[in-house]
Structure 1
């Protein structure tokens, strides 16, 4: 298939659900090969793109735009739909219902973390490049987590790695992740309210309205105070503060009973907070931090437990004190599985995942300490989603990791920088920077 400036080829790989049981159940993993038009017959090096998430499919390119255009100057790119996403064997409330009860569903979901994604990538590499072929990787956000798992489990398949906003803490548990995250989210709230001081009152009025009555979104699901607060997820993106402000600037309409939140506003909120298109993100968001050598207790809804340590996110307390209401960030809470229709059928399975304590380790610190694969990583100084201190500690622990620390871009810099972030990293790899 051809798009302007690119040639696209579909690939489907049959892989074991459980790579430790190669003769067991199999699933399909889809990937889209992209090459610059006119170069499709050239012997180009390969670049595997590892998407952020977990639980999001790879980008659907319309041509050589943004970072992809930069990559296509040098590479043949493989956009991998990580298992369970996109055109790979799907995972959602509909497909999980075929697995049986909550225990069977949880056991199935446990096979969709970074370690399994790496094994899938290795199957794709061997199929496309042969046993001895090596490729480069580009990991955005959670894709960086997958990169460190790749370096831990199969570095022999890697030529070089690029990471954007995704160097994970190697021995950092879920509680530590969120204990570090809430202050960063609070700082983003403060910056937003400083930029748009009128939004303090706008959020107060909406929260008071939600606290005093039942409000439902157009899909019929409840909009609670806590669910409204998850709009803070926007604050970690380059233009997210502006998007949030525009969302808040005209939420009201006069109805039969007086002022109420308009359907236009409620639909815009639903589009932001619904996880119908990424249920794996909800089910596996905390388990991606779980490693039995770090904690044998399980994640146990760490974001919810740690939240109480930060009163700025107690909306009712903030209202009573006349303080700005803190909006939350990249956190998954157990009540989401009661309020989001797409997550409700996954509630019991998600609880079992939260209670599980015997998660295999994702990162081999001994192997990483002997790393020989060059890694070029953009670390965003003010990243709301991934802690800069955790990222830099990992960079110090793993040889041949070279970092570029910048506050020019937010977490979505790879996507919104018109290729400048990837240009910088590939320039580092070529010795130009």
Structure 2
């Protein structure tokens, strides 16, 4: 692997820490190093007292999300900075890393050319970027922390470049290593249904409110602040709240202010519509919608797996009683309703039908893994099924698994210091 062009920025001191920007010029396709290039951005955070500490690179959840922009070190980052300097990586296509959205993709040509371009934005390409960046920084094997999709990236890293890794920590991100995406949605829809039941048991009156909102949206035209119609099945997307430990209560507070009396009758309040719009648009992370099902694909097409499995169940329609919120499943109708996605509909369809996705994992390599690995698997995680996570853990040699019902998918955000320190000790055989 060739060492990329590296442009470090001037460090900024803040609250006892150094923040430095890094930009790297990397191949779009690592198999064609002399071909098209993209820029990948990362932000270094280190303690002023330890500017040469060993590196830890953070793989953000997603796909399609940039790394956090820390205002001050807190949570897992605060804990990590006790020993490491941390590299917060904007995965290709996100943040400041040659961003991808409806505005930039037409630069690649027609829909077929755009789809071919996006085929290089999965975990295998992301970890090839990371390994090239490690070499550019002159680091020896480094440590990694992967949250959610970041854990998927970590497993690809263990498969493709184990020599670059000192130790690997994974939270809520043990990806299924084989099989069609259908099996993911069959498992996670069951978790979503259970989480809905838990939510409505805590707030029984909200079941009636949710049904009223869904029925209202089929009978009355309501518009989001961004101008498009708010539909009943888009209302179901507020199930994003259910993936967190405390956000479940935030959903209740949102619903309790849904309706307001107006001269035209009972309508959804501006406040409710404004808050809901933040959860039903992919304007900030369109790659998440376009690439989501492909993160599970190896040698076969997804063919809109989430929509097909939902249809199999028959209880996920907006008019279903009891009402169900959905999770992170991506539906084809998103690309007909979300203004940020409408221009990407043809690209999304091509990617959904794509069959020749390369392998993301090397099962033989993982079965002989020698890199210390510690991971969490949460019993009630609605996005990364506990059963599938346990199956993956059994394949990776030496992986130490922390199974707990204490957290949901966003455990790292809710209790990052404890989770990071526990996993680090576990990986090192200290706990």
| TM-score under structure 2 length normalisation | 0.96
Corresponding residue number in structure 2 for 1:125:
134
2:328 maps to which of 324, 327, 330 = 330
Corresponding residue number in structure 2 for 1:321:
none
Gap regions ≥5 residues in structure 2:
1-11
Q: Distance in 2 between matches of 1:218 and 1:61?
A: 28
- Determine if contact 1:49/1:80 at 8 Å carries over to the other structure: yes
Q: Does 1:71 align with 2:80?
A: yes
Corresponding residue number in structure 2 for 1:303:
306
Q: Distance in 2 between matches of 1:430 and 1:64?
A: 24
Corresponding residue number in structure 2 for 1:387:
385
Q: Does 1:60 align with 2:64?
A: no
Q: Distance in 2 between matches of 1:290 and 1:418?
A: 30
Q: Distance in 2 between matches of 1:315 and 1:333?
A: 13
Corresponding residue number in structure 2 for 1:217:
224
Superposed CA RMSD in Å reads: 1.0
Q: Does 1:180 align with 2:197?
A: no
* 3-state SS of paired residue (1:254): strand
1:88 maps to which of 74, 97, 102 = 97
Structure 1 residue 256: Cα displacement: 2.6
1:2-401 aligned at under 5 Å gives the runs: 2-40=13-51, 42=52, 44-129=53-138, 133-292=140-299, 296=300, 298-318=301-321, 324-401=322-399
* 3-state SS of paired residue (2:191): helix
- Determine if contact 1:47/1:75 at 8 Å carries over to the other structure: yes
Q: Which moved more, 1:346-355 or 1:388-397?
A: 388-397
1:402-417 aligned at under 5 Å gives the runs: 402-417=400-415
Q: Distance in 1 between matches of 2:115 and 2:178?
A: 24
- Determine if contact 1:4/1:62 at 8 Å carries over to the other structure: no
Question: Where in structure 1 do 4 or more consecutive aligned residues deviate above 3 Å?
Answer: none
Q: Distance in 2 between matches of 1:99 and 1:208?
A: 42
Corresponding residue number in structure 1 for 2:3:
none
Q: Distance in 1 between matches of 2:428 and 2:405?
A: 23
Q: Deviations over 1:351-392 (max 9, x none)?
A: 000000000010111111111111010111111110111111
- Determine if contact 1:13/1:123 at 8 Å carries over to the other structure: no
Structure 1 residue 418: Cα displacement: 4.5
Q: Distance in 2 between matches of 1:122 and 1:431?
A: 26
Structure 1 residue 233: Cα displacement: 1.6
Q: Distance in 2 between matches of 1:264 and 1:155?
A: 49
* 3-state SS of paired residue (2:97): coil
Q: Distance in 2 between matches of 1:51 and 1:378?
A: 16
Corresponding residue number in structure 1 for 2:4:
none
- Determine if contact 2:214/2:318 at 8 Å carries over to the other structure: yes
Q: How many residues align?
A: 420
Gap regions ≥5 residues in structure 1:
319-323
* 3-state SS of paired residue (1:137): strand
Structure 1 residue 37: Cα displacement: 2.4
Q: Distance in 2 between matches of 1:343 and 1:314?
A: 22
Q: Which moved more, 1:332-341 or 1:98-107?
A: 98-107
* 3-state SS of paired residue (1:265): helix
Structure 1 residue 314: Cα displacement: 2.1
Q: Deviations over 1:66-85 (max 9, x none)?
A: 10011011111111000001
Structure 1 residue 144: Cα displacement: 0.3
Q: Distance in 2 between matches of 1:429 and 1:183?
A: 31
Q: Distance in 2 between matches of 1:305 and 1:215?
A: 28
- Determine if contact 1:5/1:63 at 8 Å carries over to the other structure: no
Corresponding residue number in structure 1 for 2:8:
none
